[in-house]
Amino acid sequence: MEYLKEKGRIFDIQRFSVHDGPGIRTIVFLKGCMLRCRWCCNPESQEFAVQSMVQGGRTKIMGRDVTVREVVSEVAKDRIYYRRSGGGMTLSGGECFYQPHFATALLCAAKAAGINTAVESTSCVPYKTIEEALPCIDNYLMDIKHMNSSKHKEFTGVANELILENARRLSKDAANLIIRVPVIPGFNDTAEEITAIAEFTAGLGTVRELHLLPYHRLGKDKYKGLGRDYPMGDAQLHTKDTIEELKRFAEKTGLEVIIGG
């Protein structure tokens, strides 16, 4: 099988995740992203280039080239947990479709090995790229960050038209599409904006779940380790009450709204 020889670049594989799709999952983090979200908690994912990052006083090399065969054999080690929990492999990043051939080959090799698949994707790529991978994706977790294109561009570096158009097309074509919203202070943490995203999501017609992902600062030290300033400055975390209130606004659209997930 040719696609087992396909090569790509990853920076981590994490086992036993319960937040990135159904059941217990192994997350494969691919290098490279076309966005530059200010709140990104994986800044080492953004550049495709292999980088050095200082963490805990040690210099780590972020990025290594692997074949699909190597990744799938690593992921398959936890097959017993997937079977019991309904879990599987999730591609994350970065943006997995930044490396479209590698991502598609990985997803199809996992499917061929009987492993459930998921992607976490911003989907800011031509739809044709996504369409080729869709037959091998069991769960599609898609971020929608803001409905206003200029605000989206100001905070992520790219406009949102392609993302929203892809969401409309995915709502017809993707299996189990879930929309996720990183809730970011000073960006989209208002009742108006969360309502607008929830209304868009409900209007897609086939999406039942909306996940609100509260802002956190867990990636802050990584910026320092990469020699970068933290773009969010001293932005504060939301209180539980604020997030609960935003959840209630989103629920008015009839969606099932989950905090985290």
User: Which of residues 37 and 118 has its CB atom nearest to ligand SF4 in the complex?
Assistant: 37
**Least CB distance to ligand SF4 at residue 52 (A):** 19
Give the span between the Cα atoms of 174 and 202, in whole angstroms.
16
**Least CB distance to ligand SF4 at residue 43 (A):** 7
The number of beta carbons lying within 10 Å of the beta carbon of residue 158 is: 17
Q: How many helices (H) and strands (E) does the chain have?
A: 9, 11
CA atoms within 13 A on the CB side of 254: 9
Q: For residues 146 and 160, is the Cβ–Cβ distance under 8 A?
A: yes
User: Which of residues 4 and 28 has its CB atom nearest to ligand SF4 in the complex?
Assistant: 28
**Residue 130 φ/ψ, nearest 5 degrees:** -70, -45
User: Which of residues 3 and 215 has its CB atom nearest to ligand SF4 in the complex?
Assistant: 215
Q: What is the DSSP annotation of 142-166?
A: EE---S-HHHHHHHHSS-SHHHHHH
**Least CB distance to ligand SF4 at residue 84 (A):** 30
Write the CA distances from 181 to 120, 131, 196, integer angstroms.
12, 23, 12
The footprint of ligand SF4 (CB under 6 A) covers 33, 35-37, 40, 42, 45-46, 93-95, 122
**Least CB distance to ligand SF4 at residue 83 (A):** 30
Single out the residue of 140, 71, 80, 73 nearest to residue 106, CA to CA.
Answer: 71
**Least CB distance to ligand SF4 at residue 31 (A):** 10
User: Which of residues 27 and 35 has its CB atom nearest to ligand SF4 in the complex?
Assistant: 35
**Least CB distance to ligand SF4 at residue 153 (A):** 13
User: Which of residues 42 and 99 has its CB atom nearest to ligand SF4 in the complex?
Assistant: 42
**Least CB distance to ligand SF4 at residue 147 (A):** 17
User: Which of residues 37 and 89 has its CB atom nearest to ligand SF4 in the complex?
Assistant: 37
222 SS3 class: helix
167: which 2 tokens?
């969401």
Q: 13-18 — which CB contacts under 8 Å span 24+ positions?
A: 13/71, 13/74, 13/75, 15/78, 16/78, 16/81, 17/90
User: Which of residues 117 and 122 has its CB atom nearest to ligand SF4 in the complex?
Assistant: 122
Task: Find the helix packing angle between 191-203 and 240-251, rounded to 10°.
Answer: 40
